Amino acid sequence: MATTEQVSTLTDGTGGRAADDPTAAGEPPGAARGGPEEQAAQGRRMLVRLLRPYRGRLVAVLVLQAVGALAGLAPLLALAEIGRELLAPGPADRTAVWTAVASGAAGLLVRVLFTAAAGGCGHLVDGDLHLSLRKSLAQRLGRVPLGWFSRRSSGEVNGVVQGDVDTLHHLIAHTPGEFTSAVVVPVASLAYLAWVDWRLTLVALIPVLFGIAVHRLLSSEERRRQGMAVGQAMGRIGASSVEFVQGISVVKTFGGAGRVHQRYRRAADDFADFFLGYVAGSAGLASLSALVLAPPFVLLLILTGGTLLITQGAMPPAELLPFLLLSVALTAPVAALGHGMDNIHAAERSADRIHEMLSARPLPVPDHPALPDGDRVEYRGVGFAYDDGHPVLHDIDLVLEPGTTTALVGPSGAGKSTLAQMLPRFFDPTRGAVLLGGVDVRDIGDEQLYQRVAFIFQDVRVLRATVAENIALAVPDADRSAVVAAARAAGLHERVAALPHGYDSVLGEDIGLSGGEAQRLGIARALLIDAPVLVLDEAMSFADAKTQAELRRALDVLRAGRTQLVIAHRLETVTRADRIVVMEGGRIVESGTYQELMGAGGKLAQMWRAQHRHGNGTHEGTGR
Ligand code: ADP
């Protein structure tokens, strides 16, 4: 069911012009998602594409980091040289020793300077990418059809805008450093050690090769797949926790907190089981690898190999020192490499999700917006499919004459919401057209359209802003008296006026709204817009009897004199409507006044009888 959304003109203020940001270019919107391998490859491509504008600066980070890492080896090499000098037979060469000390100190200084510069540069790139991605995402989200949001939970959207963008932080700000060190330091150390003694170098390589082999095993396709599944399971927990928190008012009204909480717990338990399985599969191997790469083991191995060589007279004892100092520098990066790869895989997945969101097809906007002439609404041969090949609306012809009320009724899934949502362009028709004042709504500019068409569907979304700002969302320059008048007519004034900060109370901080109050806020918004056409889902499922009566009064104020398309759930609406449209299977199966349809004894009469058999005087059962 498409149930979401609030009142009216939540656009990005850009006029929804066609996107030209580099991040969004390329892939066809909503490109087919393949299997895990394909997704990983796609993620890699996306990552490269996202990072392309920062190529130059990223290379600079790598170079700075490489120089820093090499310089960092200098103190160790200096120590080794000093040791060799001091342990060699005969008097020590003072100049050589002091030169080594000075080189070590200089290396340390260069390392500190270059690593700091690399870190700073990396964080600057990261900051730029963050800003640009969040801007692009915000722009794109401001341009996608409103219906796009009803297919996604806010947890999911938040996960991309916040979580996935943050995941890229580690990749850009830290991974280049880790990676460069992980490559440069061992290679340089190996070269030096091989020059000192190639046999002991081979011994020192044993733990490194073992670590690399284990790492390859642990990053197999299968493990990647599991890693992806872990990410998805975490996403599900995130989504269910956000939904749990956001829906708490509804849940409490129904007394179903336990049930919903259980759903969250189940998601968490499933994740825990899955994660245990994931970790158990690799724990043994990973621990063994950690042991082999640990400094005590490496040193023991070198000491054993070194002792053998020394006792056989194959190597002078002083040569053991560089190995003891540098062998740890060989193995430590292997572990870092593992983390670095994990970060890269995580970033690839995030890049893929970010790219998918950036490729969401924006709602086309007219180059030359036309002005509607009047408020007559016409659905002309409208067909619609959410997914290709599965039409949910067929050949809808429907006219809403100005000032009339049209009630949509029909079983759940009949297509009522979809039909209603086409008028405020939650979606555009796949076939045919919806016209307002003789103009295709696709040819009307956003502002003009939403000045003329207000809508209230089931979920009224509120922003973390003041009550006044929330009411005046679509009319930001409305003065306070107009806001108060709208709130008063919607039955919200007394509640707001009683708050210490009145209309300046911040929703979600100073005040939380119940479901009924949120509905009233929606009505106040629509009243303030004062649009001549109103699209309304009058379901008030979570309101108690008193609240329902109050809401009805507020709605009656809102509806007076407007052209209305109402997803009807109430007997009065249906009986008083100028026209009832009965829908079934995405088609209009009956249309006429209450008397005509009841007299004809068709679908409406059948539905009516069925409801009365169940002792339900209202029209709830016709809808959701
Ligand atoms: P009604 O309002 O009469 O209950 P809807 O317009 O919500 O009917 O749904 C009509 C059909 O479209 C149903 O089969 C429903 O499953 C499908 N549908 C509704 N919203 C979506 C959506 N966002 N994505 C895919 N299918 C949807």
Over residues 202-226, the pLDDT tens digits come to: 999 998 888 888 877 776 767 767 7
pLDDT value of position 67: 93
Note the pLDDT of residue 335. 67
Please state, as a whole number, how many other Cβ atoms lie within 10 Å of the Cβ of residue 236. Answer: 18
Given 325, 358, 391, which residue is the final one in a domain?
Answer: 358
Please identify, by atom number, the ligand 1 atom nearest to the C-alpha of residue 624: 4
Distance from residue 138's CA to the centre of ligand 1 (Å): 26
Residue 559 has pLDDT above 90, yes or no: no
Q: What is the dihedral of CA 420, 426, 427, 433, to 10 degrees?
A: 60
**Res 528 pLDDT > 60:** yes
Q: Which atom of ligand 1 is nearest to the CA of 586?
A: 10
12 found inside a domain: yes
Domain residues for the domain of 207 are 4-358
| In a domain? residue 370 | no
Task: Return the ligand 1 atom nearest residue 408 CA.
Answer: 3
What is the number of the ligand 1 atom nearest to the C-alpha of 419?
6
Nearest CA to ligand 1 atom 26: 386
Tell whether the model's pLDDT for residue 6 goes beyond 50.
no
What residue ranges line ligand 1, CB within 6 angstroms?
A: 1-2, 150-151, 386, 392, 410, 412-418, 624
C-alpha 133 – ligand 1 centre gap (Å): 32
Cα(558)–Cα(489) distance, rounded to whole angstroms?
A: 8
Query: Do 277 and 391 fall into the same domain?
Result: no
Asked if residue 395 and residue 350 are part of one domain, the reply reads no
Is residue 70 in a domain?
yes
Say whether pLDDT at 545 is over 80: no
Confidence of residue 541 (pLDDT cuts 50, 70, 90): low
Question: Do 71 and 187 lie in a common domain?
Answer: yes
Looking at the whole model, is its pTM more than 0.85? Answer: no
Given a cut of 60, is residue 7 above it in pLDDT? Answer: no
DSSP code for 565: E
Q: Identify which of 480, 486, 478, 467 has the alpha carbon closest to the alpha carbon of residue 527.
A: 486
**Is 70 exceeded by the pLDDT of residue 16?**
no
**Separation between Cα atoms, residue 12 and residue 446, nearest integer Å:** 10
Place 31 in a pLDDT band, splitting at 50, 70 and 90: very low
Assign residue 266 the CATH number of its domain.
Answer: 1.20.1560.10
Domain-embedded: residue 622: no
Please name which of 448, 442, 426 lies closest in space to residue 380, comparing C-alpha atoms: 442
Say whether both 410 and 299 belong to one domain.
no
152, 396, 418: which to mutate for ligand 1, most atoms within 8 A of CB? 418
Q: Please tell me whether residues 350 and 400 are part of one structural domain.
A: no
Q: What confidence tier does 617 reach under pLDDT thresholds 50, 70, 90?
A: very low
Residue 239 has pLDDT above 90, yes or no: no
How many CA atoms within 13 Å lie on the side-chain side of 325?
Answer: 22
pLDDT of residue 32: 43
Q: Are residues 352 and 386 in the same domain?
A: no
Q: Whose CA is nearest to atom 24 of ligand 1?
A: 386
- Considering the domain architecture, whether residues 338 and 297 belong to the same structural domain is answered as yes
Residue with tokens 């100028």: 578
Average pLDDT, the chain: 81
3-class DSSP assignment, residue 316: coil
Ligand 1 centroid to residue 545 C-alpha, Å:
28
**In the predicted structure, residue 8 carries a pLDDT above the cut 60:** no
Residue 241 lies in a domain: yes
Per-residue pLDDT of 430-467, as tens digits, reads 999 999 999 999 999 888 888 899 888 877 777 888 88
Give the number of domains in the chain.
Answer: 2
What's the CATH code of the domain at 387?
A: 3.40.50.300
Pair (218, 322) in one structural domain: yes
Q: Percentage helix, strand, coil, to 5, in the chain?
A: 65, 10, 25
Residue 297 has pLDDT above 50, yes or no: yes
Kindly state whether residues 337 and 422 are assigned to the same domain.
no
Q: Are residues 330 and 258 in the same domain?
A: yes
250 within some domain: yes
Per-residue confidence (pLDDT) for residue 260, from 0 to 100: 62
